[in-house]
Amino acid sequence: MKNIEFPLFKTKAENVKERFNLTDPQEREAYFQLKAGLEIRKLQEYLKENSFICYLLGKKNSGKGTYAKMLKEVVDKDKIEHFSIGDMVRTLDEVVGDKEKLAELENFLSKNYRGYLPLKDIVEALKSRSTKILLPSELILALVKMKISTDNKKALFIDGFPRNLDQVSYSLFFRDLIGYRDDPDVFILIDVPEKVIDERIKYRVVCPKCQTSRNLKLLPTKYIGFDQAKKEYFLLCDNPECSNEIRLQGKEGDELGIEPIRDRLETDEELMKKTFALYGVPKVLLRNSVPVEKAKEYLDDYEITPEFNYQQNGNEIIIKEKPWLIQDDQGIDSYSLMPPPVVVSLIKQLVEVLGL
Ligand SMILES: [Zn+2]
């Protein structure tokens, strides 16, 4: 990222010849044990009696959810929760359509909501699915509190809050507001080059039937086809419960990459700068990219995200794989990391800020 230097994190294992296929769940598990086994056990032990709150901050499509879910998977599925504000707001649609759930929501809010907009206006806006009223931060806070009060004390990875600069101050006192014991809170800042986000969007494809989502360049399925008319390659669904005759499709507008979300990315960058400058709150800094010239020193080669190219050979399609080369936001030739090494860095930094 411009203006903030995210340190490089070494995940290379010295004197280990073993290689891991990080897209295979079992090999990934072995990989985590090798690279962060001790730290994983420390976190597991800690979570028996304690919890924490992490705020995930990164640009849209930077993979916040992916990292949090993988950490949960590796450390403790029952004691860790990835909590997306966006998902929660989307479920409100369902709540307002259900009389009983709506009454429950109104009841909770009448006791817990404090804010500048009258509660009845907000509920009316929710009911009419009006997008004219932007959900105020005070309401988001009350909703998060509702969600947490119905859950057991779990370590939380909050994704999507703070979302705007005015919400940063709320996040500073959030732990106190929701009465979350004395457990620590941590800001997790994720640095992903815009080029990475751009290509993730440009090449993403989804199965129209089962919603399996892949990427033509970065994460193909097992079955590749070639469209003679359009002169382009496509992916066929490889979900065993779906059909391998269905073509995965890109969304209209995705070919524009990050251009349509440029404003959002700028706000996200401002948010990261602001939280980076905060005193008194521990921070974890994660970076998705490593300069090519440093790669050998810091990484094992299988930790680098590959890109896939296709070639026709008679009736056969040959898949070629090579390290995906991108320019980071400073224009430096870099490799992008697979999610697991970023999660190793997250685990180790968490152990350190929690003082375990
Ligand atoms: Zn499918």
Residue 309's pLDDT is 95
Residue 296's pLDDT is 96
Residue 75's pLDDT is 97
Q: Which CA distances in Å does 343 have to 63, 193, 253, 284, 347? A: 11, 17, 31, 11, 6
Half-sphere exposure of 166 (CA within 13 A, CB side): 5
What is the whole-number distance in angstroms between the Cα of residue 206 and the centre of ligand 1?
8
What is the whole-number distance in angstroms between the Cα of residue 207 and the centre of ligand 1?
5
3-state secondary structure of 319: strand
Of 304, 215, 307, 292, the C-alpha closest to 257 is: 215
Which residues in the chain come in under a pLDDT of 50? none
What is the whole-number distance in angstroms between the Cα of residue 194 and the centre of ligand 1?
29
What is the whole-number distance in angstroms between the Cα of residue 224 and the centre of ligand 1?
14
What is the whole-number distance in angstroms between the Cα of residue 205 and the centre of ligand 1?
11
Any idea which residue has 């860095």 for tokens?
Answer: 345
What is the whole-number distance in angstroms between the Cα of residue 252 and the centre of ligand 1?
19
Instruction: Give counts: helices (H), strands (E), the chain.
Output: 11, 14
What is the whole-number distance in angstroms between the Cα of residue 57 and the centre of ligand 1?
31
Q: Give φ, ψ of 103 to 5 degrees.
A: -60, -40
Q: Give DSSP secondary structure letters for 15-44.
A: T------TTSHHHHHHHHHHHHHHHHHHHH
Which helix (H) or strand (E) segment is 275 a member of?
helix 262-276
What is the whole-number distance in angstroms between the Cα of residue 65 and the centre of ligand 1?
22
What is the Cα–Cα distance from 83 to 80, expressed in whole angstroms? 10
Residue 90's pLDDT is 82
- Chain length of the chain: 356
What is the whole-number distance in angstroms between the Cα of residue 294 and the centre of ligand 1?
39
Tokens at 252, concatenated: 């209209």
Residue 114's pLDDT is 82
Residue 151's pLDDT is 65
What is the whole-number distance in angstroms between the Cα of residue 249 and the centre of ligand 1?
11
What is the whole-number distance in angstroms between the Cα of residue 66 and the centre of ligand 1?
21
What is the whole-number distance in angstroms between the Cα of residue 240 and the centre of ligand 1?
8
What is the Cα–Cα distance from 44 to 79, expressed in whole angstroms? 9
What is the whole-number distance in angstroms between the Cα of residue 211 and the centre of ligand 1?
6
What is the whole-number distance in angstroms between the Cα of residue 222 and the centre of ligand 1?
12
What is the whole-number distance in angstroms between the Cα of residue 308 and the centre of ligand 1?
21
C-alpha torsion angle, residues 9, 2, 194, 325 (rounded to 10): -50
What is the whole-number distance in angstroms between the Cα of residue 235 and the centre of ligand 1?
11
What is the Cα–Cα distance from 50 to 353, expressed in whole angstroms? 14
What is the whole-number distance in angstroms between the Cα of residue 226 and the centre of ligand 1?
18
Residue 133's pLDDT is 60
